[in-house]
Amino acid sequence: MQNKIATLDALCARARILPVIVINDPADVLPFADAMAAGGLTALEITLRSAHGLDAVRLLRQERPELDVGVGTVLDVRMFDAAVEAGAQFIVTPGTTEEILQAGVAAPIPLLPGIATPSEIMQAYRLGYRRFKLFPANVYGGVDALKAFAGPFAELKFCPTGGVNPGNVKNYFQQPNLLCVGGSWMLPGDVVKAKDWTRVEQLCREALATLD
């Protein structure tokens, strides 16, 4: 697990923001990814919220090997295995089950399991996990949750996702137990639907600029 923790640490240090991406049109995959990469976001979480997610991962791994491509919204082991087979470099889940946590221990790539409570953290901690997704962050305390977790779970780090936006993202980055943040505020639906990739690039660049 130490190697997987180190992999997540390095990936998130490079990324700072992990964009949560839904692919609704297969033709969008490469221009979408290229626009985000040009804007500075080179680690992508392709969700399984649409039927095109796994095909998008396969295409990106083949055509854009320089990007870090993961799979999100993984809900069970069947989806987990399919993500690994598609070439995912990391997996993100919205929550945890014993079955998924065990799959993550056995998998060749790191899992960032979703948690919201101390009990969920402890369940995963027992199996060696030290990096987590806090989801939905805005519902379960956000920055205050990170501050509270820092006491009993001092060695752990978190990627809050859900409700992260330009108005609060700098507050998250002031927390020493932050891994990175996840979100899609730089990918507004109307801009993506219009295939305005220049605007996507600009919004990604602006999102990173807010952290400095």
pLDDT in tens, 88-124: 999 999 999 999 999 999 999 999 999 999 999 999 9
- pLDDT at residue number 212: 83
Whether residue 102 is contained in a domain is answered as yes
pLDDT in tens, 165-207: 999 999 999 999 999 999 999 999 999 999 999 999 999 999 9
Nearest CA to 29 among 46, 15, 42, 17? 46
Q: For position 11, which CATH number holds?
A: 3.20.20.70
Who's near 2: CB < 8 A, 6+ residues apart?
none
Half-sphere exposure of 48 (CA within 13 A, CB side): 21
Crossing angle of helices 53-63 and 29-38, rounded to 10°: 60
Q: How many domains does the chain have?
A: 1
Which residue's structure tokens are 């990170």? 146
Task: Tell me the residue type at 161.
Answer: T
- 4: annotated active-site residue: no
Whether residue 78 is contained in a domain is answered as yes
Nearest CA to 44 among 52, 34, 86? 34
- pLDDT at residue number 54: 97
Whether residue 210 is contained in a domain is answered as no
pTM over 0.85: yes
Whether residue 100 is contained in a domain is answered as yes
Whether residue 106 is contained in a domain is answered as yes
Which residue's structure tokens are 């993961």? 70
- 133: annotated active-site residue: yes
Whether residue 195 is contained in a domain is answered as yes
Cα–Cα dist 19/175, whole Å: 20
- pLDDT at residue number 81: 97
Whether residue 212 is contained in a domain is answered as no
Owning domain of residue 129: 2-205
73: left (phi over 0), alpha (psi -120 to 50) or beta: left
**Active-site hit among 133, 147, 170, 193:** 133
Using the predicted structure, report yes or no on whether residue 49 has a pLDDT greater than 90.
yes
Structure tokens at 211: 């952290």
Whether residue 176 is contained in a domain is answered as yes
Q: Give the 3-state DSSP-derived string for the chain, with helices as H, strands as E and coil as C.
A: CHHHHHHHHHHHHHHCEEEEECCCCHHHHHHHHHHHHHCCCCEEEEECCCCCHHHHHHHHHHHCCCCEEEEECCCCHHHHHHHHHHCCCCEECCCCCHHHHHHHHHCCCCEECEECCHHHHHHHHCCCCCEEEECCCCCCCCHHHHHHHCCCCCCCEEEEECCCCCCCHHHHHCCCCECCEEECCCCCHHHHHCCCHHHHHHHHHHHHHCCC
